[in-house]
Structure 1
């Protein structure tokens, strides 16, 4: 394959599909260099490893930046043009589910430390492992990542390429027992080139042009609109909605929340799942930290008998607003008609104001996780 990430990027710019962006150009050049290094390196295979002759893997790449900055697009260009057979691309959440399954299998064999065997299994016939959306939301992942990735890179010679919404230092920020995760951050600094794509332009917003964020009344037309928003945010075909992957969000203290649809930092929930079940502020904050965009379907008009649901909805919107989460909904009515009578209906007016602001261009242009950055 003669094309490279740089030439493909320049073709897209020339065709008017992209606007030239210096940060993206820098990342494309680094990925093109890595593509050349991987293609030029001849793997020594088993004998090379046995006699200590296996060459060190090329340095990997860690691309980070806010939603819409072109991370997935650049990963697409790199993976499509990487002319080696021993490559794999996987969403990070799916990868960690696979890792935990392999660890369970190895522990049942009772052969000591399972990490080396799991790393060897993953590295089988893989020289370049590419991840979409590296994020660490639970202590189980954090506890094993440093040792696992050191085994993959140092022992198995795998080159890692990944995207993330956060810089390495902010991964698993304020997480439980984070000190055990710090060696992983050090490993990234030592073995991967960290490239920011964090300029002021959110290109994904341009793809949302013409799509409103609040859709009423409930029905097929509103559902079609939020499906289209999901597609534009994730590049996942709305015609294949039934096969969108689900997820599990760690809520702490041994609790998890099933996320019916979760992909590339976008989560889809029903109002019932979020507000009719008994949930608190910590649950909603976990959602707000984990996802840059949230789609809520089936928001009803609430009355005096729904005061608990209304109170939870207020807390949910406060969390999403605080973390600048992009919100898309299907609802029975406009915000000011959702809860007009009942306990807390007067206080609900602040939520109405926030819901209106969250539909504005100014709010949609804000980066995810602003509250985290303000507290740093």
Structure 2
């Protein structure tokens, strides 16, 4: 047994200073060691192999000096067959957009691009769309422009096309950064109502970022969710007693009942969900129930992303994770987010299975 009682997420109300938000704009722990050569393309999906080639060329093209004031050094154009070549501003894309369904490895490739770009970590940034908007909120728009304009590359994961206000804000920010010579790379979610698995995503993304469309080279990545490719089904939920016993037996575990955790998330800004999980080795949840409403569901999606990024296993009792969201939610505009959350929580539940067996 562990020497102390489990921690509780519901007892945590972290404060995250602005300088931490900037310092943490690097690939999260799950993607700290990924590289292009650790990406395993599906042999039945040639677009995955092509994506690695094009992105490696893109990274290699960023080896020149920072192109302050919209100069053209360090950026790539793409020829007829996607071959990298020197670009003359303002022709040639200064960014790439990875278009595809959930679980095809877009984040792996985006993080690999960050790692492959020949620049000091302080000269390249990686974060989700939510983290970027949180940075603007913490620093202010002009300070954010000043902070990021000296970077060689900005990678934005999960660009939120379903929030028009934030999309315009970030589109304006990206315009300023492109003018300062920053190269861009992004993945995104689909707009509400656009239910094709990525089929409409590229067009939606390019339209939503308005005047920046010509600066992006859309790169389609087909495939199935790799998290479940050839893997066994997710483990069934455990009994409350089993989860509680494992929590007390595991150093660095948290233990909360699911309804209380959902209520607590409403009191903590999503920008702090990463800090909410600081130091945790496993999250233990009892009485998992269907999520009651869309606002709560979207907060849970952010928490699932932060847990997945940080490789924190999730041990749970109650309903299985594929029953968290109602049919209405799974058929609605945020469908893609909910399926991503189910996919990631399922992977984390698989990671936690051995904790009960060893308790």
TM-score (norm: length of structure 1): 0.50
Q: Does 1:89 align with 2:126?
A: yes
Quote the Cα distance in structure 1 between the aligned partners of 2:46 and 2:59. 20
1:134 aligns with 159
Alignment deviations for residues 220-259 of structure 1 (CA, whole Å, 9 cap, x no partner): 38978xxxxxxxxxxxxx99878xxxxxxxxxxxx98756
Quote the Cα distance in structure 2 between the aligned partners of 1:240 and 1:132. 29
Is the 8 Å Cα contact of residues 131 and 161 (structure 1) preserved in structure 2?
yes
Higher relative contact order (CA 8 A, sep 6+): 2
Is the 8 Å Cα contact of residues 161 and 188 (structure 2) preserved in structure 1?
no
What SS does the corresponding residue of 1:133 show, helix, strand or coil? strand
Quote the Cα distance in structure 1 between the aligned partners of 2:162 and 2:267. 11
Which ranges in structure 2 are unaligned for 5 or more consecutive residues? Answer: 1-34, 73-87, 196-204, 255-265, 276-282, 308-312, 347-359
Quote the Cα distance in structure 2 between the aligned partners of 1:271 and 1:316. 17
Alignment deviations for residues 97-150 of structure 1 (CA, whole Å, 9 cap, x no partner): 1111111xxxxxxxxxxx4553122223x0111122222554552341222111
Q: CA 1:143/1:218 → structure 2, altered by over 3 Å: closer, same or farther?
A: farther
Is the 8 Å Cα contact of residues 128 and 160 (structure 1) preserved in structure 2?
yes
Alignment deviations for residues 183-211 of structure 1 (CA, whole Å, 9 cap, x no partner): 64334521111112233x22111375353
Is the 8 Å Cα contact of residues 158 and 188 (structure 2) preserved in structure 1?
yes
Quote the Cα distance in structure 1 between the aligned partners of 2:251 and 2:219. 34
1:61 aligns with 96
Quote the Cα distance in structure 1 between the aligned partners of 2:243 and 2:146. 48
- The partner residue of 1:71 within 75, 99, 106 is 106
Number of aligned residue pairs: 247
Quote the Cα distance in structure 2 between the aligned partners of 1:116 and 1:83. 27
Is the 8 Å Cα contact of residues 161 and 208 (structure 2) preserved in structure 1?
no
Aligned counterparts, 1:1-376, within 5 A = 9=36, 11-12=37-38, 18-20=41-43, 21-39=45-63, 41-43=64-66, 45=68, 59-85=94-120, 86-103=123-140, 115-124=141-150, 126-136=151-161, 138=163, 140-153=165-178, 155-166=179-190, 184-199=208-223, 201-206=224-229, 209=232, 211-220=234-243, 281-283=293-295, 286=298, 317-322=326-331, 323=335, 325=339, 326=342
Quote the Cα distance in structure 2 between the aligned partners of 1:273 and 1:59. 45
Is the 8 Å Cα contact of residues 62 and 163 (structure 1) preserved in structure 2?
yes
User: Root-mean-square deviation (CA), in Å?
Assistant: 4.9
Is the 8 Å Cα contact of residues 152 and 183 (structure 2) preserved in structure 1?
yes
Quote the Cα distance in structure 1 between the aligned partners of 2:146 and 2:193. 27
Quote the Cα distance in structure 1 between the aligned partners of 2:143 and 2:166. 17
Quote the Cα distance in structure 2 between the aligned partners of 1:99 and 1:132. 16
Q: CA 1:135/1:194 → structure 2, altered by over 3 Å: closer, same or farther?
A: same
Is the 8 Å Cα contact of residues 261 and 269 (structure 1) preserved in structure 2?
no
Quote the Cα distance in structure 2 between the aligned partners of 1:137 and 1:289. 14
Is the 8 Å Cα contact of residues 161 and 167 (structure 2) preserved in structure 1?
yes
Instruction: State the 1:262 CA deviation.
Output: 6.8
Quote the Cα distance in structure 2 between the aligned partners of 1:80 and 1:132. 15
Is the 8 Å Cα contact of residues 69 and 181 (structure 2) preserved in structure 1?
no
What SS does the corresponding residue of 1:132 show, helix, strand or coil? strand
TM-score (norm: length of structure 2): 0.52
What SS does the corresponding residue of 1:89 show, helix, strand or coil? strand
Quote the Cα distance in structure 2 between the aligned partners of 1:119 and 1:298. 42
1:174 aligns with none
Q: CA 1:320/1:60 → structure 2, altered by over 3 Å: closer, same or farther?
A: same
Instruction: State the 1:281 CA deviation.
Output: 4.0
Quote the Cα distance in structure 2 between the aligned partners of 1:131 and 1:281. 28
